């Protein structure tokens, strides 16, 4: 199946559940395709969980949902070995991360220790319990939702951990028409249950491989590095983009290009993704505008390469 067409089908499928948020859906698909993790930061009740569930369903993947609370333990995330009296053996009970899409709701409500258990699994794509290593499924994507920090009872995610998320998006409130649509849709059925998969897991794995093969020319690579370097020297920022950020921007751009049916990345791909990939990793000086604005301004003034 053609990657671009499959991506469109995915998009359409998810859109049946999430009304009026094409950009958020788009980024979510790109992150899934680039094997990254997605951080959704928004007020409760705008469809963060629904987006993650619909995406998992559309690729015929399994979904686990963990509600992060202050008393959640690391073993709830990774799994635990329990003694089976019948077989007189320790048996591994997999935790929440053993699924294709793991939804970590309100991740910043859990204790730092539990948070880091999840984040470790995210970067290693494996879990070690009692000396045994367990591979996680592929694709594997964590969709963590985070309430804005001003909300009560939240722990801020450390920057090292925020860095592990490929992109951060914000859903925002749906507009009036989409919200009205939602009312009628939800009245009749539970929409997510009605979704059918449009891509098999095998197909999706092939799509991931195809997206990885997208070409990044030297010029575009230099463009990304220029942007990352600029964030490091920007006076408004305490902390600029890490090399991991550079890598993830390139990987996201590859998926983004593939979704658009291109086998090469163009500067416009970088331009389109830079804010959602970079902004959440940066630490802004007190009194300066939001990180999104700063990233936008840096990208706007970085010269675009024209040669190959």
Partner 1 sequence: MTPRPGNGASLAALVGLLGVLWGFGNVLQGDVWWWRVALVMVGVHAVLFLLRRRGLRLAPLAGLVALGLLVVWVFVPGSTLLGIPTPATAHALRQHLSLAIAVVAEEQAPLIPPEPLMTGMALGFGMLVIVVDAFARSRRFALWGVGAVYATGLGIASLIVGANPPLLAFVVAAAGWLAIVAARSSVPSTSRLVLASVMGTVALVAGVLAPSVVAADLTPAASTWGRAPVDVFGRGINPMVRLGENLRRGDSVEVLRSITTAEEPPYLKVATLVDMEGGTWAPIDDPDGLPYEQPLEDIDPDIESTVEEISIAVDDLDSTMLPMPYPAEGVRGLVGTWSWHPVGGTVRSRTETTRGQTYVADYVELDPDANQMRERQALLPPAMMGRYLALPDDTPPQIAAVARSRTAGLTNDYDRVVALQDWMREDFRYSETSPVAEGYDGNGVEVIERFLVEEQAGYCVHFSSALAVMARSLGIPARIAVGYAPGEPAGRTNDGERVYSTSSDALHAWTEIYFEGAGWVRFDATPGVGRATGFDEPTISGQASVGDLPNAGNATGGTPQDPRSLTEGEQGADAADEGAAGGPSQAVVAAVGGIAVTLLLLVPGVARRARRWWRWRRGRDQAEPLWREITDTATDLGIDVPIRATMRRQAEPLKDHAGPGLVAVVASVERERYAASPGNVAVLDEARSSVRALEDSVPTWRRWLARYFPRSLVRRSN
Choose which of 38, 143, 265, 294 interacts with partner 1 (CB under 8 A). 265
Our finding on whether 217 is near partner 1 (CB under 8 A) is yes
Our finding on whether 264 is near partner 1 (CB under 8 A) is yes
Please choose, out of 6-14, 75-83, 181-189, 259-267, the segment that lies near partner 1 by the rule CB under 8 A. 259-267
Per residue, the 3-state secondary structure of 212-258, as one string, reads HCCECCHHHHHHHHHHHHHHHHCCCEEECCCHHHHHHHHHHHHHHHH
Torsion angle of C-alpha atoms 182, 184, 190, 191, degrees rounded to 10: -60
Our finding on whether 207 is near partner 1 (CB under 8 A) is no
b vs e for 131-169, b when ≥16 Cβ sit within 10 Å of the residue's Cβ?
eeebebeebbbbbbbbbeeeeeebeebeeebbbbbbbbb
Which lies closer to partner 1 via its Cβ, residue 58 or residue 302?
302
Total residues contacting partner 1 (rule CB under 8 A)?
Answer: 21
Our finding on whether 229 is near partner 1 (CB under 8 A) is no
What track of x and - describes contact with partner 1 for positions 159 through 178 (by CB under 8 A)?
--------------------
Chain positions 270 to 299 lying near partner 1, rule: CB under 8 A, are 271
> Strands 167-169, 38-41: parallel, antiparallel or unpaired by DSSP?
parallel
Our finding on whether 268 is near partner 1 (CB under 8 A) is yes
Our finding on whether 300 is near partner 1 (CB under 8 A) is yes
> Strands 126-129, 132-135: parallel, antiparallel or unpaired by DSSP?
antiparallel
Our finding on whether 93 is near partner 1 (CB under 8 A) is no
Q: How far is CA 187 from CA 150, 180, 182, in A?
A: 32, 11, 8
Which lies closer to partner 1 via its Cβ, residue 233 or residue 306?
306
At closest approach, how far in Å is the CB of 100 from partner 1? 31
Choose which of 144, 157, 266, 294 interacts with partner 1 (CB under 8 A). 266
Our finding on whether 79 is near partner 1 (CB under 8 A) is no
Choose which of 61, 139, 240, 267 interacts with partner 1 (CB under 8 A). 267
At closest approach, how far in Å is the CB of 30 from partner 1? 17
Our finding on whether 307 is near partner 1 (CB under 8 A) is yes
Burial class (CB in 10 A: 0-12, 13-18, 19+), 193: exposed
At closest approach, how far in Å is the CB of 216 from partner 1? 8
Our finding on whether 232 is near partner 1 (CB under 8 A) is no
Our finding on whether 243 is near partner 1 (CB under 8 A) is no
The span from the CA of 3 to the CA of 24, in Å, is 19
| Sign of the torsion angle spanned by Cα atoms 186, 189, 192, 194 | negative
Detail the DSSP E strand segments found in the chain.
38-41, 63-67, 79-84, 89-94, 101-105, 126-129, 132-135, 141-146, 167-169, 237-239, 283-284
Among 78, 305, 100, 308, CA closest to 204: 100
What track of x and - describes contact with partner 1 for positions 35 through 54 (by CB under 8 A)?
--------------------
Binding site for partner 1 (CB under 8 A): 215, 217, 219-220, 262-268, 271, 300-308
């Amino acid at each position: 199946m053609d990657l671009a067409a499959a991506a469109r089908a995915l998009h359409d499928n998810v859109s049946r559940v999430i009304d009026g948020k094409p950009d958020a859906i788009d980024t979510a698909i790109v992150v899934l395709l680039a094997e990254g993790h997605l951080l959704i930061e928004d007020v409760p009740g705008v469809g963060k969980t629904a987006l993650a569930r619909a995406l998992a369903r559309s690729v015929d993947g399994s979904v686990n949902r963990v509600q992060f609370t202050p008393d959640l333990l690391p073993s709830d995330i990774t799994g635990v070995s329990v003694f089976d009296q019948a077989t007189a053996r320790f048996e591994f009970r997999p935790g929440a991360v053993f699924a294709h899409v793991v939804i970590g709701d309100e991740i910043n409500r859990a204790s730092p220790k539990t948070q880091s258990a999840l984040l470790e699994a995210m970067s290693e794509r494996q879990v070690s319990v009692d000396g045994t290593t367990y591979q996680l499924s592929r694709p594997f994507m964590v969709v963590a939702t985070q309430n804005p920090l001003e909300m009560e009872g939240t722990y801020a995610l450390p920057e090292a951990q925020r860095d592990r998320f490929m992109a951060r998006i914000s859903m925002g409130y749906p507009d009036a028409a989409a919200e009205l649509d939602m009312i009628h849709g939800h009245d009749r059925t539970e929409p997510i249950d009605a979704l059918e998969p449009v891509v098999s897991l095998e197909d999706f794995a092939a799509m991931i491989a195809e997206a990885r093969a997208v070409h990044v020319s030297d010029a575009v690579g230099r463009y990304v590095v220029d942007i990352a370097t600029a964030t490091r020297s920007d006076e408004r920022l305490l902390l600029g983009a890490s090399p991991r950020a550079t890598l993830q921007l390139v990987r996201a751009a590859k998926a983004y290009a593939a979704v658009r049916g291109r086998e090469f990345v163009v500067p416009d791909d970088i331009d389109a993704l830079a804010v959602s990939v970079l902004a959440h990793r940066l630490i802004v000086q007190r009194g300066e505008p939001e990180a999104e604005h700063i990233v936008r301004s840096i990208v706007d003034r970085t010269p675009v390469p024209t040669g190959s």
